[in-house]
Structure 1
Amino acid sequence: MKYFELKCIAYIKKEIPLNDSFDALSSYINYCFTKDEVLKKLHEEKDFKNYCFGNFYPIEKDKVYKKGNTYEFVIRALDEEFIYKLQKLLRENVNNSFFQVLQATKKVVKQFFVSELYTITPTITTVKDENNKSIFWTVDKDGDILKLQEQLQKNLLKKYENFYNEKLEPTQNFIQLLEIKNQKPQSIYFMKKINDNKSIRVRLFGNKFKIAPNEDEVSQKLSFVALACGLGEKQSYGGGFCLWK
């Protein structure tokens, strides 16, 4: 197993508040997809995209990315062809009113042993409540840690099976220990287009986790998939981007 990563350097053209940054990055990446027929088809499919991205780094103290400054962000994927096409489009300086990508450097990462996972963007997870209605998992809304762990594993299994076209047979949940790092739900905001004249602001609720995975082969494969294409849901909006130890 391996994943492919683009480390990008972006020049900020006008100030971007932290709450708007996920939408700015997501919109930029989605616009790149429209410039390539294969990526455009992928974007339009209602299936796993098997990529993820992190937010601009470093974060300013006032949580506003400053005009005239440069920041890094990272895109990861399981598919090398996807990363190759995206790198080419980024290097062509796709026009954007918020920022311009100055550099996109490709890196190949082979599978390694993961002792700890840290989600540095909110991990979005939907579960069913007592009325069988889908809700965002939070401590206040649900609080069932076992249900959360089951949902996170189920999502990673589907991502693995979608890309590798084979099933894994776990004997246990891949999570040995899970720690919630936030005291209140973390949010991702984005603008959703209703029609040609109207858009609404959508808020996704999530959490940041520190996870100690189990050491067995299946657990380690799922941990690597989490690094490659995100933990939880809504990766196309920046959800569940992980670092490791």
Structure 2
Amino acid sequence: MKYFELKCKTFIKKDIEFIDSFDILSKYINFSMCQIEEYEKSHNENKFTNYCFGNFYPIEKSKIYKSGNIYDFIIRSLDEQFIKRLQDLLRENINHTYIQVLQTTIKTVKQFFISELYSVTPVIVSVKDENNKNIFWTISKDGDILKLQKQLQDNLEKKYQNFFDEKIESNQNFIQLLELKNQKQQSIFFTKNSKEDSKKIRLFGNKFKIIPNEDEVSQKLAFIALACGLGEKQSYGGGFSIWN
């Protein structure tokens, strides 16, 4: 098993506030990939995307990515063809208001042993409350760590099955230890446009340190987390992770 990482060196045409950065990157990637019919269809049908992306870096202390500066961002996927086609599409998308991709490089990463996972962007997880209503998991709204771990596990298993078209059998949760790294809720904002108006949507999430179990299945799922993101809403920037 391996994933493919597309690193994009990006020129900022106009100041971008951190609160808007996920939305701008998400729309930029989605617009580019939807130039190909099969990817547009998959996006519109709300299927698993099999990719994830991280925000601009280096991070600015001012919380503003400044016009005239160059930043990097990374896209990962299990799908080599997707990454190679996206590489060209991003460079061809030259008329964007805020950003222009100047240079791209692709790196192939083969499966390796993962001792620790760290989420760099908020991990978004949906759970049911006592009224069977969908809510975002937070320590204040739910606080059930076992429920959280099960949702993360189930989500990764579905991503594996979706891409490889086979089930992955597990006797235990892939998480040996989970540590909540934020004191306040983390958020991703995006704008939903309609014919009538536009509305800013807020996704609530958390940042985690995860120590995976050492068995073969747990390590596969940890690798899927790196390749496709932890939790939900990867097309908006959720759950991008790094390792140790």
Percent of aligned positions that are identical:
68
After TM superposition, give the deviation of residue 103 of structure 1 in Å: 0.8
Partner of 1:67: 67
Partner of 1:151: 151
* Alignment partners' CA distance in 1, 2:105 and 2:48: 24
Is the aligned partner of 1:160 residue 2:172? Answer: no
* Alignment partners' CA distance in 2, 1:206 and 1:52: 16
After TM superposition, give the deviation of residue 90 of structure 1 in Å: 1.6
**What do the CA deviations read for 1:86-145 (whole angstroms, capped 9, x no partner)?**
001122244210110001111111000000000000000010111111100000000000
How many residue pairs are counted as aligned between the two chains? 244
Partner of 2:221: 222
* Alignment partners' CA distance in 1, 2:39 and 2:66: 30
* Alignment partners' CA distance in 2, 1:39 and 1:12: 26
Q: CA RMSD in A?
A: 0.8
After TM superposition, give the deviation of residue 33 of structure 1 in Å: 1.9
8 Å contact from structure 1 (residues 93, 102) kept in 2: no
After TM superposition, give the deviation of residue 197 of structure 1 in Å: 4.0
Relative to the length of structure 2, the TM-score reads 0.98
Relative to the length of structure 1, the TM-score reads 0.98
* Alignment partners' CA distance in 2, 1:177 and 1:171: 16
Secondary structure of the structure 2 residue equivalent to 1:122? coil
After TM superposition, give the deviation of residue 226 of structure 1 in Å: 0.2
* Alignment partners' CA distance in 2, 1:94 and 1:40: 19
Partner of 2:103: 103
* Alignment partners' CA distance in 1, 2:150 and 2:63: 34
Secondary structure of the structure 2 residue equivalent to 1:86? helix
For 1:1-245, what aligned pairs fall within 5 Å after superposition? 1-193=1-193, 195-245=194-244
Letter in 1 for 2:119: T
* Alignment partners' CA distance in 2, 1:5 and 1:218: 22
Secondary structure of the structure 1 residue equivalent to 2:189? strand
Letter in 1 for 2:230: L
* Alignment partners' CA distance in 2, 1:46 and 1:64: 31
Structure 2 segments unaligned to the other structure (5+ residues): none
* Alignment partners' CA distance in 1, 2:225 and 2:232: 11
* Alignment partners' CA distance in 1, 2:197 and 2:138: 30
8 Å contact from structure 2 (residues 174, 222) kept in 1: yes
Secondary structure of the structure 1 residue equivalent to 2:74? strand
After TM superposition, give the deviation of residue 37 of structure 1 in Å: 1.8
After TM superposition, give the deviation of residue 169 of structure 1 in Å: 1.0
* Alignment partners' CA distance in 2, 1:174 and 1:43: 28
**What do the CA deviations read for 1:44-72 (whole angstroms, capped 9, x no partner)?**
22210110000000111111000000000
Letter in 1 for 2:61: K
Secondary structure of the structure 2 residue equivalent to 1:142? coil
After TM superposition, give the deviation of residue 42 of structure 1 in Å: 2.1
Letter in 2 for 1:82: F
